[in-house]
A and B are shown apart, each in its own frame.
Chain A
């Protein structure tokens, strides 16, 4: 019988690799990162004409440099310089991404693919802004807790709705959570337009009174290093990341989530109410996204618009997967992603006229992430090329 093309062993095939050690895994990942940076440096050199050394230096400055940002000649203490550095910006933006990724952890661990972090974030943000905009005269100790509560609840509701449908009728949570995003984006647009009135933009809310801002807590008091909105944001997020780690590992709820995620049949066998766990975990996931929205409105932006999450609700999915849902690992991964973004942003600020535009910067970040994610594939699989011998045998057979 003649051998048809399809009968032969394929030229390349993939086999699963035995698990490799943690150290080897770390080295492969670090290696992939170095290769990614060098590869991009060369691309930039060829296409933009910026030499690799300058590229590396600028990338580093823009992401982790402690040079002061902008014109800050009036700063006198180290702390004030530090809190306005590129490094500080990376940390505080990274924390925004981190909190969203941490919020996804309980849902993803349960294999509930919540693609709605962006919407749950905005639900929290717009509710906080609504209270802030309409009741600026409340005392800070009433106004802020009220805003916090409303944000948590609306984020949770935005998470519970798809969970309910999934638990009751088995709807597809990926589509459902995704589409819920667009609803809340339009709600935000509606209020944005309503509140700005004839102005061209909404601008900062309560810019004069600072009502509903985190800093309204210490307004009028003496200055101190810890009276910093960003610091409060960063500390809150890190605490939540750590708590989430232990919630998933040590509590009964965390155990239930892990069982449901592994096998719903086993969960039923053990007497776990699968519906209850799905709804409860999605409430938690949504509430944490809502909290992130609250923190962004009250500490970072002091305003609201439908792009407030800057797409981090989706980027958080990448972070969660790359970290294998381990919230400690998430800290590193989200910082890395934001660092690359910020480094590339400084590149495009500096070399825009040479052709390093914002769009080009995004491509560079994308290429680097592709390397980092791609190496996960090579950690799990081995590529086997068809050997000549096997090929010969196939022809003879």
Chain B
């Protein structure tokens, strides 16, 4: 029946750049058919959200044309998008906490005179009845669960007469039951003639809900396939692409001994959503443990929990084994206490300037960050930091006007060199890095890989959270795959294939088959 449908949205040669380097969308041309559920699939940074942000008026394309119902349109603001019946439900809800559902729905509508809240509430009830939503118009938003807030966002869109709804990773924050409920709502909306575009990483959900799947990879449009003709394997292959040989060194593991043991680790984020679920694994000295996963699957919380920066749910255990054989528990300790116990833990966080470094300070002062407190003098001792800053600048080739120039003004690659340099200088026994090469050019990336390998050969337990599967497969010794806060598998990076990792990243553990087999192989 898809053949009979006409395109409701047609994109022609859409291109969007951010700065000079990042090509987020490269000449994308595709159609969205009237009344279909289209899933948009792609890895991190493949340009899905950017593309849809241009449809909803948040970004404006650098070049290319958008046609809605055959008419060439220019969508300059979310208001223009509304006028065309396009509405996007963002991952982060845009609701006012202290307002009721009704107040949130009418907010921003340009009606003459005062709002008739009673009439609005009635229309909301009608919409709920029609599509099977469960929203109380008088409930305050702060009293709502995440799922209710999401439903409210959808109601808000329908109230404004949306014909085309865009859902950005709607299931990321939902439980399986809530997901099921969302899917039935999507089906109801489809039955009522709405067109729905949904971004998701979970292949099972793609297969369950969509009519067609469009795949993006690294900003390029790959293909659109009918869901009925797709399989998990075919979608994974299109999503991750062919394996690329990178020629990254991978020295053999020597003197492998247990350094860090994590068991039963669960964490909740600021919104009280469980982002890590009963995670257990071990990290060994002299080995690089890669961590793969779609972004936001608990990688950040995992590293921060080990570093003593994240509140963990009771029942978890994190045990550190000194090279001498003594063990210490790290749970409930602050970063300072961990340092005092003689545990040399280095951590290169994802947010370099917001967590790892002080953006307004120069290299010298940033070198001081972790041991400014050394010595009993009330004054800071900047001499060693100055020497260290000069050493890092020379050895890693940091390009900076001077070692006291605020690091905020340096380029991304140089900022990362400063941070990695400092973390390696403290002679760690455990080194955790999150997206260590994100935004770096090829040469700088290889400098970082070499540094990590050097640490591995020194007997450091390296934990490498990465996003490029080719890099993870080439650099790591083992790969731990996270999916939605669960460990969906641990693979031997020397034998694993890209498809295996891609499959585990997008499939919940209860749906895995391959994962178990690989897990047992590894043991």
Interface residues of chain A, those whose CB is within 8 Å of chain B, are 1, 6-7, 250-256, 258-259, 262-263, 265-266, 268-271, 273
Contacts and interface: CB of A to CB of B under 8 A. Distances in A.
Nearest to A246: B379
A252 B358 contact: no
Contact of B379 (A252, A262, A265, A266): A252
Given A258-B360, A263-B355, A252 B76 contact: no
Interface SS of chain B: helix, strand, loop or mixed? loop
A5 to B, nearest CB: 12
Given A1-B74, A266-B357, A269-B307, 16 more contacts: A1-B72, A250-B379, A251-B378, A251-B380, A252-B372, A252-B379, A255-B365, A258-B361, A258-B365, A259-B361, A262-B360, A265-B355, A269-B349, A269-B355, A269-B356, A270-B369
Contacts of B353: 263
Interface residues of B, number: 30
Interface string B334-347: 11100100000001
Contacts, number: 66
B85 interface: no
Given A1-B74, A7-B76, A263 B354 contact: yes
B491 to A, nearest CB: 30
B309 A270 contact: no
B75 to A, nearest CB: 12
Contact of B358 (A254, A266, A268): A266
Given A265-B354, A266-B354, A255 B335 contact: no
Interface of B: 72, 74, 76, 307, 309, 334-336, 339, 347, 349, 351, 353-361, 365, 368-370, 372-373, 378-380
A255 B370 CA distance: 11
A273 B72 CA distance: 57
A259 B407 CA distance: 13
Contacts of A268: 309, 335
B380 A269 contact: no
B187 to A, nearest CB: 37
22 contacts: A251-B380, A252-B378, A252-B379, A255-B365, A255-B368, A256-B372, A258-B360, A258-B365, A259-B369, A262-B358, A262-B360, A263-B353, A263-B355, A263-B358, A265-B351, A268-B309, A268-B335, A269-B349, A269-B356, A270-B335, A270-B372, A271-B334
Contacts of A6: 76
Count chain A CB atoms within 10 A of each CB in B351, B360, B365, B379 and give the residue with the most.
Answer: B379
A338 B356 CA distance: 43
B67 to A, nearest CB: 13
Contacts of B380: 250-252, 254-255
Contacts of A251: 378-380
Contacts of B339: 271
Contacts of A1: 72, 74
A269 B335 contact: yes
Nearest to A269: B355
Given A250-B379, A251-B379, A269 B372 contact: no
Nearest to A247: B378
